Amino acid sequence: MIIGVTGTKGAGKDTAVSFLESQGFSHFSVRNFLTKELNKRGMPVNRPTLSSLGDDLRKNMGQGLL
């Protein structure tokens, strides 16, 4: 089973993820994936570059990539 947790800043995503982890679910973060990719490319890790990279990857590799 895959559960995606999304929401605005301060919406309680971390709390929801912590609960799911306590129930035996694994946590995979798109942000961590994007951060590693930005580091490989020598780019700064910030909200604009994370967003831009995510948009670029979806455009070039398909919506299902992330």
Please list, in sequence order, all residues whose beta carbon lies within 8 angstroms of the beta carbon of residue 39, skipping any fewer than 6 positions away. 45
Return the pLDDT at 9: 86
**Total domains present in the chain:** 1
| pTM (two decimals) | 0.71
Q: In the prediction, which pLDDT does 66 show?
A: 79
The pLDDT assigned to 17 comes to 95
List, for residues 8-54, the tens digit of each pLDDT value: 989 999 999 999 999 999 999 899 999 999 999 999 999 999 999 99
* Domain carrying residue 56: 13-61
Which pLDDT value is given to residue 45?
97
CB 38, CB 45: distance < 8 Å = yes
66 falls within a domain: no
User: Is residue 45 a part of any domain in this protein?
Assistant: yes
2: left (phi over 0), alpha (psi -120 to 50) or beta: beta
User: Is 42 a domain residue?
Assistant: yes
* Closest-CA residue to 33 (of 50, 52, 11, 16): 50
Question: 65 or 31, which is more confident?
Answer: 31
